[in-house]
Amino acid sequence: MKGYYFITDSKLSRAGNRSDVLSAVSCGVKIVQYRSKNAETREMYQEALELGRICRDAGSLFLINDRLDIALAVEADGVHVGQSDMPCLRARRLLGEGKIIGVTVHNLAEAILAEEEGADYLGVSPIFQTATKPDAGKPAGIRLIEEIREQVSIPLVAIGGINHSNASDVFRAGADGICAISCVVAEANVRGQIRRFQDLFEGI
Ligand code: TZP
Ligand code: MG
């Protein structure tokens, strides 16, 4: 979970998901999450198959947002679920012990519960204001990362409004990974944007 964690967003992407994922893995990104909010199931399945192959060939982990059925169908490495998605305990039963489950949390209580329920890592969200996910909720600020870091031992991936100016603060607060969507996929140089995050991380 260390470093930059990539999430697809075909709506914001300039170059498309396939190109973005190729860029991410060519930069050495170790985790790619396929997130698609509007596609039909068949389209999602097909795209997930293709993106999953790219990740497997590159030696990167491939996770699916929300959809356990798609994760099972394409034999992804795991899922990422939110507070209104499949409960972590049930997801674990369906996926088995060998798969990765990430859980989005918005406060300390959710974080402690997710760890107890066997999450492999937490998505701490949203740290800052973001237009990418309108229903993300009120920004928590980096204090939430510090608070969760003190009480929870699984890796923390911070998300929401993260850019190259605030990412160092997020790492320093105790995040293992960061995810930034709009300031990567909506830009012309996706690899360059990812590398800038990786350089920040190296410097800490
Ligand atoms: N979950 C919480 S905030 C968010 C998601 C998927 C969107 C983050 O996007 P950005 O563009 O990095 O703020
Ligand atoms: Mg979700």
35-52 per-position pLDDT tens digit: 999 899 999 999 999 999
Using the structure block, give the residue that is written with the tokens 């607060």: 173
Which is nearest to 77 in space by CA: 130, 28, 30? 30
Best of 80, 127, 132, 162 for a ligand 1 pocket test (most atoms within 8 Å of beta carbon): 132
Integer Cα distance of 110 and 93 in angstroms: 20
Query: Are 6 and 179 spatial neighbours (Cβ–Cβ below 8 Å)?
Result: yes
Going by pLDDT thresholds of 50, 70 and 90, the confidence category of residue 71 is very high
Per-residue confidence at 204, pLDDT binned at 50, 70, 90? confident
Q: How confident is the model at residue 60 (pLDDT cuts 50, 70, 90)?
A: very high
CA of 126 to the centre of ligand 1 (A): 7
Ligand number with the minimum distance to the CA of 157: 1
- In sequence order, what are the beta bridge partners of 65? 80
38 C-alpha vs ligand 1 centroid, how far in Å? Answer: 16
Measure 50 CA to ligand 1 centroid, in angstroms: 23
pLDDT of residue 203: 78
Which atom of ligand 1 is the closest one to the Cα of 125?
2
Mean pLDDT of 56-83: 98
**What are the pLDDT digits (tens) for 90-106?**
999 999 999 999 999 99
Predicted pLDDT at 158: 98
Ligand 1 center to residue 181 CA distance, Å?
A: 6
Ligand in nearest proximity to the CA of 84: 2
Is it the case that residue 1 has pLDDT exceeding 90? no
Query: Each residue of 116-170: pLDDT tens digit?
Result: 999 999 999 999 999 999 999 999 999 999 999 999 999 999 999 999 999 999 9
Closest ligand to the CA of 133: 1
Task: Please determine, for residue 73, whether its predicted confidence score (pLDDT) is greater than 90.
Answer: yes
pTM of the model: 0.98
Which residues, judged by CB distance below 6 Å to any ligand atom, belong to the binding site of ligand 1? 7, 125-126, 130, 132-133, 136, 159-162, 180-182
Q: What is the pLDDT of residues 182-194, one digit of tens each?
A: 999 999 999 999 9
Q: Which pLDDT score, from 0 to 100, does residue 182 have? A: 98
The 10 Å Cβ neighbour count of residue 100 is 19
Q: How far apart are the first and last CA of the chain?
A: 16
The residue nearest atom 11 of ligand 1, judged by CA position, is: 182
User: What pLDDT sits at residue 201?
Assistant: 87
Determine the atom of ligand 1 nearest the C-alpha atom of 82.
Answer: 1
Q: Which atom of ligand 1 is nearest to the CA of 35?
A: 6
CA-CA distances (angstroms) from residue 36 to 63, 67, 76, 79?
A: 12, 9, 15, 13
Q: What integer best gives the mean pLDDT of the chain?
A: 97
Band of pLDDT at residue 2, cut at 50, 70 and 90 = confident
